[in-house]
Structure 1
Amino acid sequence: MKKYTLLVTGIILSLILLAGCNAENETSSENQSEEKLNLYTTIYPLEDFTKKIGGDLVNVQNIFPPGADAHTYEPTTKIMVDIANSDGLIYSGVGLESFATKIQTSLEKEDVAFINAGEGLELVDMHSEDEHAAKEDTHSEDEHAAEEEDHSDHEHATEEDTHSEDEHAAEEEDHSDHEHATEEDTHSEDEHAAEDDTHSEDEHAAEEDTHSEDEHGHNHGDTDPHVWIDPIRSITLAENIKNALVELHPEGADTFEKNFSDLKSKLEELDTKFSTVIESSDKKEILVSHAAYGYWEDKYGLEQISVLGLSPTQEPSQKELQTIIETAKEHSIKYIVFEENVSSNITDIVQGEIGAEAVTLSNLETITEEQINNNEDYFSLMNKNLETLKKILSN
């Protein structure tokens, strides 16, 4: 009987131990499947889209401090260490974050994913308007140069005609004199031709130098990086993020796909709202502090009159500033757009010159502490932008 009791007890203990092991394995498996990705992003829309797509399967932090200027930001050593200890950095890849490639190079030996959310996007080229303005400015100079060239050619032709008559007279007087004269004439013509060629090359080189300086002085010399203000282009940003999350965490693929689909639908609805408001308005011109709204121009036909360039550090010359003020007056501009993360004394000067009322648009590069505390997101901020546009375009 004792042997039987001991046997039963042994079996029970074995079952308990086995159940405990199975429970431990199941817990370990569950923890593994619920393990979150730790990711960093640059511009705010990438942070918001990653949170919306990743849901409970991701921890997302933005490397930009609240209200920072994304154009001039440089990561700290602490941020570099944080990224090195994370699963990845998501950046726009459209020319805004020059530091991203530097970080990638520095961390090439670390197991960190670098995700280019802007891959495959069609970007707006900001050269064309500046080149047109430069051509307008140099047109009169070109005409003046052409007149001088025509005058010079006419004088040269007259000299050649006179010279021909002199040669003919010299030929009748003395053959030797003719040879000497011909030698001098040939030498003179060669020198003149060389001068013409050199002059032409110098003019061409100067023209190219001027053109290059005009392009460089007016803008980045590249494309507009503010792609996220276009809801349709933002779908591409979101899709690239979704694909990266699926690759990094395949177990969450179904969640990521569903969340992306919901986000895409909301972005399409937002696009329809912007299209309706802007395209139905008779007025299309808005005066802005910096040229962050080129994609609204490209997508909806808006026309931004920008005080500063693509970056807030690109300030206008005195002549350009006067042109901006005159253009604003011509279009009867009553509002001037300021941004939370951009401040400029020059914009204040323009406001004073035209007597415009200040309004605010969010360029969404970064958001402020107040917006964070108010639980704002991409859609709430874009809808506020839409209400501001309604006000601006109704006058």
Structure 2
Amino acid sequence: MRKIGFALILLLAAASSLAGCSSSGETNEAKNGKLKIYTTIFPLEDFTKKIGGNLVEVESVYPPNTDAHSFEPSTKTMVKIAEGDAFIYTGAGIEGFADKAAETLKNEDVEIVKAAEGIELAKSAAHSHEGEAGHDEHSEEAAHEGHEHGDTDPHVWLDPIRSIQMAENIKNALVKKHPEGKETFEKNFAELKANLEKLDKEYKDTLSKMDKKEILVSHAAYGYWQERYGIEQISIMGLSASDEPSQKQISSIIKDAKAHGIKHVIFEKNISSKLSEIVQNEIGATPLTVSNLESVTEEDAKNSEDYFSLMRKNLETLKIALTE
């Protein structure tokens, strides 16, 4: 993950100052009766909408097709966040700008919410494959990258069960900001929790029947599926899609893929990868696509896709990858 540059720190500080100057002294809630919430990754936006109902107005700071690891906000975006009622991010290490932004915004009248607070994150499974020659080298790079992520996988929202805790943290933040809406927030959270438990069961029931367990993915975002459902990811790139393997490592990945009889390379909607295309051609595989849910495409937004519809589409992709 990229480190925050000095220029960005100045930008955030300037944004905070601008927010203070531009504030009318009246909260968004007072203006329209709704809490104005800004979020990062798509599941946080979707969960907040589902829990908040008609008592909230929610907007993600991510444009369509954004790579969460590399996004940096504009001054205008920072001013908007500062004028909101709450800013919700994972706090799991994926949003490169968010911790610094939260520090800058601490003196503003905006609630800062780490949705993954209190959740035990999975250990990094970056570059998980069996090529003996490449394994040590991959492990060394994974360890380096894991150090930047705290040795953990930040893609926690891909686990429906851990997502329940994220949703509860969001619910608690909404109750704190708008106590009068507690009954609504509690009711909507209970419904969301039940749906997340149902989704987890669908994944377990489907994937437990698969004889094959290995998938070849463009980047190592799927450690939570590996931990909870026994799916082994062979990843071409690391936890961040900018972490590219060496030629030797690519050869090892290709060897692993052939050894497991893998016939598909799974690409992601928001990340293009020439290296994944090279591996695909080398093993004669066909492409499949999943959503890592960091952000949604314009088409997804147009079709009103939500967390559950995208996760179920991902499950259908996994079924193809593990049966053909």
For structure 1, list consecutive stretches of 5 or more residues without a partner in the other structure.
1-30, 139-210
| Counterparts in 2 of 1:288 and 1:354: CA distance versus 1, 3 Å | same
**DSSP-derived class of the 1:341 partner:** coil
Q: Determine the C-alpha separation between the residues in 1 that align with 2:30 and 2:289.
A: 46
What is the alpha-carbon root mean square deviation over aligned residues? 2.4
Q: What per-residue deviation string (whole Å, max 9, x for no partner) do you get for residues 102-158 of structure 1?
A: 11222222111100100111111126977x9799759xxxxxxxxxxxxxxxxxxxx
The alignment status of 1:112 with 2:40, answered yes or no, reads no
TM-score by length of 1: 0.70
Where does residue 322 of structure 1 map in the other structure?
251
1:370 match: secondary structure:
helix
Deviations 1:318-354 (A, max 9, x none): 1111000000001111111011111111011000000
Offset at residue 33 of structure 1 (A): 11
Q: Does 1:337 align with 2:254?
A: no
Quote the residue 1:238 is aligned against.
167
Tell me whether 1:63 sits opposite 2:86 in the alignment.
no
Deviation beyond 2 Å, 4+ runs, structure 1: 31-34, 127-130, 132-138, 211-215, 217-222
- Give yes or no for contact 2:127–2:238 (8 Å, CA) kept in 1: no
Residue 298 of structure 2: aligned partner: 369
Identity of aligned residues (%): 57
Query: Is 1:302 paired with 2:231?
Result: yes
Q: Which residue of 203, 208, 216 corresponds with 1:274? A: 203
One-letter amino acid matched to 1:50: T
CA contact (8 A) 1:218 1:309 kept: no
1:216 paired residue number: 144
User: Quick one: distance in 1 between partners of 2:39 and 2:256?
Assistant: 38
CA distance in 2, matches of 1:225, 1:214: 14
Structure-2 residue corresponding to 1:381: 310
1:171 match = none
Shift in Å, 1:213: 6.9
Shift of 1:391: 1.1
- CA separation in 2, counterparts of 1:214 and 1:304? 14
How big is each residue's C-alpha offset from its partner over 1:156-201, in whole Å with a ceiling of 9 and x where there is no partner? xxxxxxxxxxxxxxxxxxxxxxxxxxxxxxxxxxxxxxxxxxxxxx
The structure that has the greater radius of gyration is 1
Aligned length: 293
Q: Separation in 1 of the partners of 2:136 and 2:276? A: 24
Question: For residues 218 and 55 of structure 1, what CA distance do their matches in structure 2 show?
Answer: 37
Residue 255 of structure 2 corresponds to residue 354 of structure 1: no
The alpha carbon displacement at 1:277 in A equals 1.1
- Equivalence map 1:284-303=2 (5 Å): 284-303=213-232
User: The residue matched to 1:392 in structure 2 has which SS?
Assistant: helix
| Cα pair distance change 1:101/1:219, threshold 3 Å | closer
In the superposition, the TM-score normalised over structure 2's length comes to 0.85
Aligned CA distance change for structure 1 residues 34 and 72 (closer, same or farther; 3 Å) = closer
In structure 1, what is the equivalent of residue 37 of structure 2? Answer: 39
Q: Give the partner amino acid of 1:110.
A: E
* Counterpart position of 2:187: 258
5+ residue gaps, structure 2, are 1-28
Structure having the larger proportion of residues in helix? 1
